[in-house]
Structure 1
């Protein structure tokens, strides 16, 4: 016993000597040399790391444990230890906590709520969901011509005969107006299109009757309308009004039946784009649509209207020019100022349609941007107008009424409208006024040209010293130009008599083509003289066959193919319709190309001969003169018709008129100068002719020049007298 107390005292002595305190077990702490319980939950009150979020910490003697808050459960099934995490319990999956009938359970963090389904309301007394009678909540829930039927949690609408909600049983009933499908004698050409509208309209009038989907109906509409447009049955304003009106009526039936928010379809004749929205409340915002050559900007407020039926749609349909569109405007054109004006459509015709039936005065304007079919800036001769098809004016006509703003450039037109219909851009082409100066230049120039050509005809037909193939070609060239200029001067504007104007146009067609054919023969003759063999001539039969036979054949074929092409409203010339003008310009282009080829080869051969030591220098020099005059002649006459190509078009300008007139008046004078005055032989003949009336000094000079010329040409006069032998 004494030994035990001795060891205890020794231990205490060691503790005191070493300065160490007494140690406590796990979960305890030393306080005043005493081991007391440590509260782990209190020390970590602000730190959720021990038990995690959504859990409660419980302290025990020497330890602690965790439990989850109500609405949460451990992340592990054996969560009984001192650490862990709690996760939310989805009460909506617990069958014991299901919500009452006609309600849905909504889970939340640590809890849940019960919400009544649409069409039901929550009773605070019984905490149950009761049905809402929608038919009593709003008057005319289904429209004035529909019957509202209440259902548990919902309702439906039954439309009266002649009204429909287009398969949407909760939409208001709107009028169908199927009586528009009555086919008259004038509208029988569009029977298929009207029958499509009638059958679809009648199927909607009877809800129990089966009918095609909106997409199928739109496809049928595009096919039928394409057949009507390509058949050419739309021939007058009344039929066009029926076509456009039937398209609008049918689209009104199809739009609400489309299932997709945006639908596009097209064929070779038209393109359709439809957008549909179905919301309990009217949609807002803007809607932008595009088809080929047309851009539409419209608001959904405009499409929905004040009487919103539960859906809204926007339709944009564009047509090409295969329809026979009348182009005369219903309103007077103040810019015409007494001038003759012609009108044509310069854009695609489009139909803009919305679900709102009250579109005479829109709450917000609609903007259409058109791309011009023919580019051109506004000028004194050209103007644009934004127009719509007004079917109330004389069976239908283009009108500008309702156009708020219009902006035009050379490629596009921007039109803002206060109503909806079928729209387009009308291009007005004004006749260029013939000023006094232009008329004077035309008369003086052509008179001068006729005098010069007449002198040339006398010279080439009476002067024996220049007889030859080239002289024959020049003679008939001058005859053709003389007759053509004479007709042009006195009869080009005689458009009052349609038959007479066609005869004038045919004669001009023939003689101008004949002039080019004789120029082609001159190029062939020069080519044969230089490139092939000298002293080579063309037989008269070949000359007349090409010079008159080819033009006559072209005129006959053209008259048979398109007899209405001779004569226009402005001039007795070839029409631009059906590209008939190319019956003249195509042969002219061919002649110019062939002659250019012959002249290039001829000049190249002449240059090669000049570079060599050729003894026939005089002959080559004369040939060079022949080629230069022939090229100049082709340039003047060909250049004249380059400007003439623009002159006889509707867009002919004053500049083109002046250039054409000047070149037309110069051609006779040029032929006289090049082929008569520049020819030494002809000058000698003129000198002999004038010898009897001139002074003695001029007579002696003329005789001296003639003798000198005769001596210089003496070696060449041994051959028969031809134009080629004198080279």
Structure 2
């Protein structure tokens, strides 16, 4: 439209509007129509848009980074702005290398690719991960940086745990290749490598990672199967085939040795062991000729125990030659069975015998020591002795205890020390057979030790002269006797015997019984000494009873002590060996128990009396009733309780004294030990107090010297009686030295008491002088030591110090 016509049109419109209403896009202003600004409505064009007003209208455009869905210019009803993805145009971030475009709302940004970092000039530079983290490839791998990334280079034997940037881990070659060590080797993975372990019979031809190849044992220089065996190689192993007359006892990898089945000869008189011999011959021939099917070693052992039990229980072993055949057949059959056993230790037991065998089957000989046990026998032997000089690939040791072979099966041997005495011999242990794989057992490189349990235990609890034990073995070459040859050591006690031997055979412990002969010197000393003691004790009893000058509490104690010792020594001298009458012997033992305990109780009362006299000032004497209750009552209670607890403990087969079994003797020694300890305490305190008296400024030396004399005699008396029974503990153990010491102390006991309590006291000597000289005049001065007469001031023993309560002189 031309401009002039436009103006005309507008003028007409304006004129019309002035006459009527304004058209769209205009608003009436007075009489005129003016342009309406639609952009004042902020939400007219929508989000992310810009409103543009025009004369009589408007149009919308999108903000930068946004675009219209329809046209570039639009109105609210025709268009709407949406985000413009600059990254799709390809130009965004083209000037920033090693980056990628990331669209944002209304814009975009350039982000560095992984492995790159933003620099100050808005460029992306490579990150060196190897420098940033030195352990990024682990402790084994080496890091190699690449643009934007890195790679981990693993050494041989390792691999990445995932991609090339993952750390290095061990590569298990054994899982990847199961045959890497060959068909017979076992692969063991190691960090970065592996090793091949070859089983026995294979070896590695190269380093530790080489595969295993078979060893041809038959190609070895030594005769692996022996001179009379042929070797057949197999993968990882070999087997030996023996010629006729030779065997490896079913152990296919053992050397072939000669086997003889006629080692034991029998006669018609020994037909009782024929079944045992048949078992040996049949088993031997099957091994020798490789014909009959073989039973297992365990089955053969069961058969042997059954057959040997039948032979013994039948009573056919009634002479030395038969016993020799029996023991020889047992030993030879065990030599056949031992190598065929599969278990390392095999035990079989019945009522007749008990067997224990141990077998070792190794390439190399076993070392160390081996012990085998049955119920009554213990064997200790070294494997060196078992193996010997040659090792065929196995070693065995067997111990058989023949429990049913008793003294009726033994031969009598001479006892060199028996003299003219009648000697009885008994087997005091089971007869045992020891067999080993070593063929040369005449002189062993190391002795073996057998410990036997006695079948008859000594009643007195120790080995005495009446029973003489001997370690013996069965010697068939000597006509079938028990011999001591080859025994290099023997130790005996009450319950066991330990024997050491330098050869192997069948062994036992032989017990010789013969009547005991009393030692003449001991008998003479005992009779003379006890007679002297009885005389001295009798004199002491008369002195303490009749001599009024020495009447006191201590004299009463000495009197009762001497009475107890006199009766005890009298019984000991005349009735200690009266064992024929069992009841009478028990009665004598009970009386000895009572009177010896009473003697020690009166000794305890003397210690208490000294303690009261020297240490205390109150009650310096003890009433006679109380003293008798202690001196006789306590021993009586102990004897009654002991007799009720063990009435058979009084009297033995040799002496009328307390039995040493089950600790019954302690019913006497326990009270004695307690009394000795208590008296030692009283005497120590008394000596200490006397020392304090002597160190005082104004001591009454006469009375202190008397107390000192009393104390010395009391301590000497304790030493004599206590020392005597220290050795008396072992009197019946059979030790000659102890018997001599005890006898001497016992003989001196009464004499020492007479010397200490009578002859060493001046007042007693004066009384003896008057008695011997017939002088009957009254003495000028009385020597009454601490009389019990409390009415006489001159006989008061001590004065009481009110401050300390101690005895003052």
Q: TM-score range by the shorter chain?
A: 0.5 to 0.7
8 Å CA contact retained: 1:289, 1:316: no
- DSSP-derived class of the 1:574 partner: coil
Give 2:739's match in structure 1, choosing from 644, 653, 657.
Answer: 657
- Residue 605 of structure 1, CA deviation: 0.5
- DSSP-derived class of the 1:414 partner: strand
**Structure 1, residues 336-392: CA drift from partner, whole Å, max 9, x if none?**
44679999999x989564478x99x96666942368999xxx9999976214699xx
8 Å CA contact retained: 2:549, 2:784: no
User: Structure 1 pair 476/287, CA: closer, same or farther in 2 (3 Å)?
Assistant: same
- DSSP-derived class of the 1:648 partner: helix
- Residue 601 of structure 1, CA deviation: 0.3
1:178 to 2:306 alignment: yes
- Residue 138 of structure 1, CA deviation: 7.3
- Residue 304 of structure 1, CA deviation: 11
Task: Name the structure 2 match of 1:401.
Answer: 482
8 Å CA contact retained: 2:365, 2:387: yes
Task: Name the structure 2 match of 1:416.
Answer: 502
CA distance in 1, matches of 2:204, 2:768: 120
What is the 5 A alignment of 1:112-151? 144=282
Task: Give the TM-score normalised by the residue count of structure 2.
Answer: 0.49
- Residue 535 of structure 1, CA deviation: 5.3
Give 1:434's match in structure 2, choosing from 496, 519, 529.
Answer: 519
**Structure 1, residues 659-678: CA drift from partner, whole Å, max 9, x if none?**
32222222212222222222
What is the 5 A alignment of 1:277-426? 277=361, 288-290=369-371, 295-297=380-382, 299-300=385-386, 313-315=396-398, 331=413, 333-337=415-419, 353-354=434-435, 367-369=447-449, 385-387=470-472, 401-408=482-489, 414-421=500-507, 423=508
Give 1:678's match in structure 2, choosing from 752, 757, 760.
Answer: 760
Give 2:606's match in structure 1, choosing from 522, 539, 542.
Answer: 522
8 Å CA contact retained: 1:465, 1:721: no
CA distance in 2, matches of 1:246, 1:182: 11
**Structure 1, residues 137-195: CA drift from partner, whole Å, max 9, x if none?**
7799989469999xxxxx99745xxx54448xxxx99944536678999xxxxxxxxxx
Give 1:467's match in structure 2, choosing from 548, 551, 557.
Answer: 551
User: Structure 1 pair 467/333, CA: closer, same or farther in 2 (3 Å)?
Assistant: same
Task: Name the structure 1 match of 2:665.
Answer: 581
Task: Name the structure 1 match of 2:25.
Answer: none
Give 2:353's match in structure 1, choosing from 235, 243, 246.
Answer: 246
8 Å CA contact retained: 1:558, 1:583: yes
Task: Name the structure 2 match of 1:572.
Answer: 656
- DSSP-derived class of the 1:538 partner: coil
What is the 5 A alignment of 1:471-620? 471-533=555-617, 536-620=620-704
- Residue 487 of structure 1, CA deviation: 0.9
Task: Name the structure 2 match of 1:667.
Answer: 749
Q: Larger Rg: 1 or 2?
A: 2
- Residue 656 of structure 1, CA deviation: 3.0
**Structure 1, residues 509-536: CA drift from partner, whole Å, max 9, x if none?**
2111111111011101111111111652
- Residue 589 of structure 1, CA deviation: 1.5
- Residue 612 of structure 1, CA deviation: 0.5
Any unmatched runs of 5+ in structure 2? 1-179, 184-200, 207-212, 219-224, 233-238, 251-280, 314-340, 455-462, 493-497, 800-808
CA distance in 2, matches of 1:557, 1:388: 49
Task: Name the structure 1 match of 2:38.
Answer: none
User: Structure 1 pair 183/314, CA: closer, same or farther in 2 (3 Å)?
Assistant: closer
CA distance in 1, matches of 2:434, 2:785: 89
Task: Name the structure 1 match of 2:32.
Answer: none
> What's the Cα RMSD here?
5.9
Hey, which of these two has a bigger chunk of helix by percent?
1
CA distance in 2, matches of 1:629, 1:477: 14
User: Structure 1 pair 369/174, CA: closer, same or farther in 2 (3 Å)?
Assistant: closer
CA distance in 2, matches of 1:525, 1:604: 16
CA distance in 2, matches of 1:582, 1:363: 49
8 Å CA contact retained: 1:505, 1:567: yes
What is the 5 A alignment of 1:50-199? 144=282, 158-159=293-294, 164-166=296-298, 175-178=303-306
CA distance in 2, matches of 1:656, 1:311: 54
**Structure 1, residues 470-510: CA drift from partner, whole Å, max 9, x if none?**
12211110010000111111112222333322222222121
Task: Give the TM-score normalised by the residue count of structure 1.
Answer: 0.54
**Structure 1, residues 577-632: CA drift from partner, whole Å, max 9, x if none?**
22322222222211111111100000100110111134543222211111111011
- DSSP-derived class of the 1:459 partner: helix
Bigger RCO (CA 8 Å, 6+ sep): 1
8 Å CA contact retained: 1:446, 1:665: yes
- Residue 640 of structure 1, CA deviation: 1.7
8 Å CA contact retained: 1:285, 1:299: no
**Structure 1, residues 42-85: CA drift from partner, whole Å, max 9, x if none?**
xxxxxxxxxxxxxxxxxxxxxxxxxxxxxxxxxxxxxxxxxxxx
**Structure 1, residues 106-134: CA drift from partner, whole Å, max 9, x if none?**
9999xx99989999999xxxxxxxxx997
Give 1:719's match in structure 2, choosing from 782, 792, 806.
Answer: 792
User: Structure 1 pair 683/183, CA: closer, same or farther in 2 (3 Å)?
Assistant: same
CA distance in 2, matches of 1:526, 1:343: 59
User: Structure 1 pair 108/596, CA: closer, same or farther in 2 (3 Å)?
Assistant: closer
User: Structure 1 pair 449/316, CA: closer, same or farther in 2 (3 Å)?
Assistant: same
8 Å CA contact retained: 2:467, 2:513: yes
8 Å CA contact retained: 2:449, 2:499: yes
Any unmatched runs of 5+ in structure 1? 1-89, 94-103, 123-131, 150-154, 186-211, 226-241, 256-273, 391-398, 693-698
CA distance in 2, matches of 1:613, 1:434: 59
CA distance in 1, matches of 2:784, 2:469: 71
- Residue 400 of structure 1, CA deviation: 7.9
- Residue 427 of structure 1, CA deviation: 10
User: Structure 1 pair 446/495, CA: closer, same or farther in 2 (3 Å)?
Assistant: same
User: Structure 1 pair 604/381, CA: closer, same or farther in 2 (3 Å)?
Assistant: farther
Task: Name the structure 2 match of 1:96.
Answer: none
CA distance in 2, matches of 1:711, 1:469: 11
